[in-house]
Amino acid sequence: LYILDFFYHIFISFNIVDNVAGCIFSFFFFLFFFFFVFIFFIFLFFFFFKQKTAYEISACLVGSEMCIRDSTYTEDTRKVTTHRLMEMKLRGEKISMLTAYDFSMATLIDQAGIDVILVGDSASNVMAGNVTTLPITLDQMIYHGKSVVRAVKRALVVVDMPFGSYQGNSKEAVASAIRIMKETHADCVKMEGGAEIRESIERILSAGIPVMGHLGLTPQSINKFGTYTVRAREEAEANKLIEDAHLLEEIGCFSLVLEKIPAALATRVAQEVTIPVIGIGAGGGVDGQVLVMHDMLGINKGFSPRFLRRYADLSTTITEAVQAYVKDVKTQDFPNEKEQY
Ligand code: KIV
């Protein structure tokens, strides 16, 4: 009654009606009118969103919870570029990165929706069986890079510059980077180090080659560190890492890997720099995560650092499959009638 009375006075003052019955009628008329207008806009809203891909919808919902929930973009087949990584950081979408060294694995992980594939110099360990990453050569990295690039349709492909291909002088560094880009057709290169390799990075960048930096535990310097333990726990090393991160951003690196450093330090760096920071053993406060594929698939079971999460036990699967095959061959169960010509 109070509401009706309110509307009655409004209708009367605008000369819409001049009696109570007319007022009640007009009230319900306007009520239904606004209800249908509301329904119409709801319909328009859903129609508009239905026309968009999951990627575009989440781009509309920047910063919202829905953006994070819908961030797997399995139907988004557009090529990932350095520019798109920057956009992902801006809208708070985490970047997924894994290593790959050959065509078959790169095909699988690209189709599974990984954002970045790193042809890491960890190939020296997991593919060649070396104790460190130091022995792998530029030619070997180019071989792995070519195999991966042939497989990849969507992910950004980064090739590690191997030890000895850029530390000597900047002229040699740019020649190595140009060989990687020309021969592998990868999208960019990754280099370990900060201020000490500034000139090399700048020269490579000025040749138009995007560079991803790598700070913290840099395995190519393992002989200097003498241990694979967490880096930058001490204030002096932490300060140097922060300075280096700013330097890499300033000179034009498009992204940065932080390896095995305290989570709080990595979070601080990711907040202070505008380029995407991808962590390995650097906590969840960074813009993305990278793991060595053989470790996360449980192929390489001898390596179990705290930061590693295993998503499969391929070591057991492969061992059991091979044992079954050996048994079938020995017992002459394989091949059977249907498995021959
Ligand atoms: O070579 C590699 O696999 C790497 C990652 C550990 C970041 O550099």
Confidence of residue 260 (pLDDT cuts 50, 70, 90): very high
pLDDT, residue 36, reads 75
Nearest ligand 1 atom, CA 121: 1
Chain mean position to CA 71: 11
Q: Tell me what percent of the chain is helix, strand and coil, each rounded to the nearest 5.
A: 50, 10, 35
Q: Are 196 and 214 in contact (CB under 8 A)?
A: no
The mean pLDDT of 59-71, rounded to a whole number, is 40
pLDDT at residue 189 above 90?
A: yes
Q: Are 146 and 106 in contact (CB under 8 A)?
A: no
**SS3 state at 295:** helix
pLDDT at residue 5 above 90?
A: no
pLDDT, residue 11, reads 67
Among residues 177, 180, 186, which one has the least CA distance to residue 79?
186
pLDDT, residue 318, reads 98
The β-bridge relationship of strands 188-192 and 211-216 is: parallel
Quote the ligand 1 centre to 9 CA distance (angstroms): 75
Confidence of residue 37 (pLDDT cuts 50, 70, 90): confident
Residues 118 and 101: their CA atoms lie apart, in Å, by 8
Tokens 């044992």 — which residue?
323
The whole-model pTM stands at: 0.79
pLDDT at residue 64 above 60?
A: no
pLDDT, residue 169, reads 95
Query: Beta-carbon neighbour count of residue 168 at 10 Å?
Result: 11
pLDDT at residue 104 above 70?
A: yes
The answer to whether the CB of 120 is under 6 A from ligand 1 is yes
Nearest ligand 1 atom, CA 99: 3
The answer to whether the CB of 290 is under 6 A from ligand 1 is yes
| φ, ψ (nearest 5 deg) of residue 301 | -85, -10
- The backbone region for 59, taken as left when phi is positive above 0, alpha when psi lies in -120 to 50, beta otherwise, is alpha
Q: Are 298 and 313 in contact (CB under 8 A)?
A: yes
pLDDT at residue 70 above 50?
A: no
Confidence of residue 55 (pLDDT cuts 50, 70, 90): very low
pLDDT, residue 32, reads 74
pLDDT, residue 131, reads 96
Quote the ligand 1 centre to 292 CA distance (angstroms): 7
pLDDT at residue 274 above 80?
A: yes
The pLDDT tens digits for 87-100 are 999 999 999 999 99
Q: Are 217 and 260 in contact (CB under 8 A)?
A: yes
DSSP codes of every residue in 201-227: HHHHHHTT--EEEEEES-GGGHHHH-S
The answer to whether the CB of 192 is under 6 A from ligand 1 is no
- Average pLDDT over the chain, rounded to an integer: 89
Nearest ligand 1 atom, CA 97: 7
Residues 292 and 99: their CA atoms lie apart, in Å, by 5
pLDDT, residue 56, reads 44
Task: State which of 96, 99, 134, 220 you would mutate to test the pocket of ligand 1, scoring each by most atoms of that ligand within 8 A of its C-beta.
Answer: 99
